[in-house]
Amino acid sequence: MNKSDSGIILAIVILNSIIGYVQESKAENALETLKQMSSPTAKVFRDGKLIQVPTKEIVLGDIVYLEAGDVVCADCYIAQSHSLKCDESSLTGESVEVEKQANIKLAPDTPLGDRKNMLYSGCVVTYGRGLGVVVATGMKTEMGKIAQMLNTKPVDNKTPIQQKLHGLGKVITIGVLIIALLVLIVNMAIGSNDFINSLMLAIAIAVAAIPESLTTVITIIMAMGVSRMSKQQAIIRKLHAVETLGSCQIICSDKTGTLTQNKMSVEVIFSNNTLYEKSAFNNLNNPHLFNAMALCNDSVIQQDEVTGDPTETALISCVKNIELNPEKIREKYTRLNEIPFDSNRKMMTTINQIDDEILAFTKGAPDVIVSRCTHILINGEIQPLTKSNKDEIEQNIAELSSKGLRSLAFAYKVKKSKEIEKIDENKLIFIGLTAMRDPPRETTAEAVRVCKEAGMKPIMITGDHVLTAKAIAQEVGIYNSGDIVLTGAELDDLTDDEYRKIIKQVSVYARVSPQNKVRIVEEWKNTGAVVAMTGDGVNDSPSIKSADIGIGMGKTGTEVTKQVADMVLTDDNFATIVGAVSEGRKIYSNIKKVIQFLFGTNLVEVLSILLVTLIYPALGFLSALQILFINLITDSLPALSLSVEKAEKDSMKKPPRPKDEKLFAGVWGSMLVQVLYQTACVVATFGICMAQTGDNALAITLCFAVLSISQIFHLVNVRTEKSIFATNIFSNKLYWLTFVLCIGINIAVISIPSVASVFGMIPLTLAQWGIVFAVAISIIPVIEIYKFICWLINRKKAKK
């Protein structure tokens, strides 16, 4: 190798490094932007309004609003507490929830775990709600002080496919070193006694065997795919989810807000033993019911704008629509105490001062509320709740639920004081129930159809009434005749063996608990399925964490849910999940195409060098410089075009790929044909040229041109699993741009005498270029014939 070769190799390596650095920087910047999009937020009061801001914008003195499911954004002094409890295990190691109190003074030396008047950054609110005044942020928080004491090691963020490639790379490196050493020894023994020439040959083989641009291209494909997903409202928080999405077989989805629009409206009210349609709400005389709708409600009313849980905002809107003022009701009837809602009790209670009385208002799941009532309010008169009353209430609930309406029951009781415990949520007086409509999203039914067509099973998991869940599931296509609808209580009664026998028939789960959700996910995983799970509440976080793909809700989701999720939906839409699966399949398919292309072409180079060296040991062949040029220019640039390759038309009509699928699964046959044919073309070109002309330089030039240009043409084959005549081969404009560019570069390198001499080649005549292109383009019909044979074999198997 002369100084000129060394300089050119160095220049090529530097150029490739610059291109790789620029592209990877763009990819990393794109991922960083996505991280910022999914960064945690906090609810604070600014200018008297409750707004949501990124946690990094929290400053000392901010008043922070916290409720169950929130991650504490800074160290805060508790100014207000309503049954507030916090999980401080990440800070203190204590797994028991800590009950917090407002406005109490403690000694300065009080241990961290006993400071009941403080909330600490990074801890999780598990119950209740409250207000906190920020006293420390960032590295000055208790969590920050610990972080300063740690020397954190960089986390290995490689995805599964990157880990496989890393392992494969080690094997290739060892294999290349062994082959190169053997070639060096054999060449010295049978061909040349020139050690330097033999060493150069060994180096050329080593260079030929290693796909230098593979990791860069894969990083770019994944980054561009993640960026595309973000534009489709799916924020990838953990890169492994991109690959896992392509294997997804089960999608467990919440109903409210994901399958439905999350735009609740009260359609029917049952009170005074009468059903009232929306148009007749003004005729209903039941002040206690409307007071309960406004008071037993945590939504926030600010200048006619209502924010909060969609169910609760719908109740406020209903009260407004009958010309009552919920703000004045709240001002007049002060809240004295409360027991917040939780998913196990399925209800919430507030204590309010109503004129001279103290009343406890309770709202929740109808079956739970009715079971705790002993009396009923009918036309202002309190009467015992008879079996007949219960039957009528249950009959109405069932009828409304069968229409897809979601029922919510209300009750009250008179209290002697504002103190309340959970035991007080008994012996209640039933005052009525509301039935709400939350229509399915317009995109849900089509997304469910695509989901099933793609071999995935959509499952609805909800806390709603079983008939409501079934009605909505039937409307969107999740529930079909013969499917099973299972309640949480029924699931609890099943043994693991009994459940496994019916699990594949269950398409709807209703009235489920957090424990039920985890069990559903785990049992599906035990069948070998890849499971995606959606959720928004803190109670969903265990099942989301347990799933192969945890999906958090960006609009309604709590911070805890978003933190454990692999992917966050900014629009809370089921159709977005299906779209993300499609994108995940495309990304994985394109990565496999890159691997197939680069490893296949490199194998051709290695075999060509080995065979020519063995057949013509005394003659020169491709140098390390020429091989490096092919790898970094002719192979890498077209391979980059695969990052924008469109998905196969039937990609969402195929079953999910196995999660343990091998890197080269399904492509060995095509690779073998390509490698053998291209190797034969190169070796035959060298042999024929030497036989007819005896010109070693011409033979090398022809082989270089055939090898390089045939690989550019071969990428047309790799772009699609089908025949190129069954697809639009002109859909990828970037490919054709790189195609023309690489062809032009190759012609220029060979045709410009001064450049050709640097690369150890000579210019070719038009006739010789005609031969080169004829041989190079022949790879397309060869692979087309192979694809046709495979199609015939598969068709024959399908008929059997």
The CA distance from 492 to 108, in Å, is 48
pLDDT at 448 over 70: yes
Q: Which residues pair with 434 in a beta bridge?
A: 269, 408
Query: What pLDDT, on a 0 to 100 scale, did the predictor assign at position 199?
Result: 67
Strands (E), 213-356: 234-236, 250-253, 265-271, 274-277, 300-302, 305-307, 335-342, 347-354
Query: What pLDDT, on a 0 to 100 scale, did the predictor assign at position 153?
Result: 44
202-206, 255-259, 379-383, 429-433, range with the lowest pLDDT: 202-206
Q: What is the mean predicted confidence (pLDDT) over 57-67?
A: 92
Task: With beta carbons less than 8 A apart as the criterion, state whether 508 and 483 touch.
Answer: yes
Q: What is the mean predicted confidence (pLDDT) over 132-141?
A: 90
pLDDT at 522 over 90: yes
Say what angle helices 779-799 and 696-718 make with each other, to 10 degrees: 40
Confidence at 1, pLDDT banded by 50, 70, 90: very low
Q: pLDDT higher for 53 or 10?
A: 53
The CA distance from 654 to 456, in Å, is 10
Pairing of strands 118-119, 549-553: unpaired
Query: What pLDDT, on a 0 to 100 scale, did the predictor assign at position 152?
Result: 45
Confidence at 32, pLDDT banded by 50, 70, 90: low
46-55, 390-399, 537-546, range with the lowest pLDDT: 537-546
pLDDT at 410 over 60: yes
Identify the three-state secondary structure at position 191: coil
Tracing tokens 């609930």 back to the chain, one arrives at 397
Strands (E), 405-559: 405-415, 428-437, 457-461, 484-487, 506-510, 531-535, 549-553
Summarize the chain as % helix, strand, coil (round to 5): 55, 20, 25
Q: What is the tens place of the pLDDT at every residue in 695-719?
A: 999 999 999 999 999 999 999 999 8
Q: What is the mean predicted confidence (pLDDT) over 281-303?
A: 89
Assess whether 298 carries a catalytic annotation. Answer: no
Query: What pLDDT, on a 0 to 100 scale, did the predictor assign at position 366?
Result: 93
Provide long-range contacts, Cβ within 8 A and 24+ apart, for 279-282. Answer: 281/318, 281/321, 281/322, 282/322, 282/323
Q: What is the tens place of the pLDDT at every residue in 321-371?
A: 888 899 899 999 999 999 888 777 889 999 999 988 999 999 999 999 999
User: How many Cβ atoms from other residues are within 10 Å of residue 662's Cβ?
Assistant: 10
Q: What is the tens place of the pLDDT at every residue in 599-611?
A: 888 889 888 888 8
Query: What pLDDT, on a 0 to 100 scale, did the predictor assign at position 227?
Result: 83
Query: What pLDDT, on a 0 to 100 scale, did the predictor assign at position 681?
Result: 95
Query: What pLDDT, on a 0 to 100 scale, did the predictor assign at position 512?
Result: 87
Tokens of 353: 């001062």
The CA distance from 69 to 341, in Å, is 12
Q: What percent of the chain has pLDDT over 90?
A: 41
Task: With beta carbons less than 8 A apart as the criterion, state whether 201 and 622 touch.
Answer: no
Q: Which of 359, 313, 308 is nearest to 334 (CA)?
A: 359
Q: What is the tens place of the pLDDT at every residue in 609-660?
A: 888 877 887 677 887 788 888 887 788 888 888 888 888 888 888 889 887 7
The CA distance from 712 to 738, in Å, is 9
pLDDT at 391 over 90: yes
Task: With beta carbons less than 8 A apart as the criterion, state whether 306 and 299 touch.
Answer: yes
Most confident of 198-202, 485-489, 727-731: 485-489
Query: What pLDDT, on a 0 to 100 scale, did the predictor assign at position 139?
Result: 85
The CA distance from 352 to 343, in Å, is 23
Query: What pLDDT, on a 0 to 100 scale, did the predictor assign at position 723?
Result: 85
Which runs of consecutive H residues, i.e. helices, occur in 191-239? 195-209, 214-231
Identify the three-state secondary structure at position 359: strand
Q: What is the tens place of the pLDDT at every residue in 752-793?
A: 999 999 888 999 999 999 999 999 999 999 999 999 998 888
Query: What pLDDT, on a 0 to 100 scale, did the predictor assign at position 155?
Result: 44
| Catalytic-labelled residue, pool 62, 70, 87, 254 | 254
Query: What pLDDT, on a 0 to 100 scale, did the predictor assign at position 7?
Result: 57
14-23, 232-241, 324-333, 672-681, range with the lowest pLDDT: 14-23
Q: Which residues pair with 236 in a beta bridge?
A: 567
The CA distance from 262 to 305, in Å, is 17
Q: Give the DSSP H/E element, type plus range, for residue 602.
A: helix 574-615
Tokens of 492: 């609890």
Q: What is the mean predicted confidence (pLDDT) over 485-510?
A: 93
Tracing tokens 């901010």 back to the chain, one arrives at 62
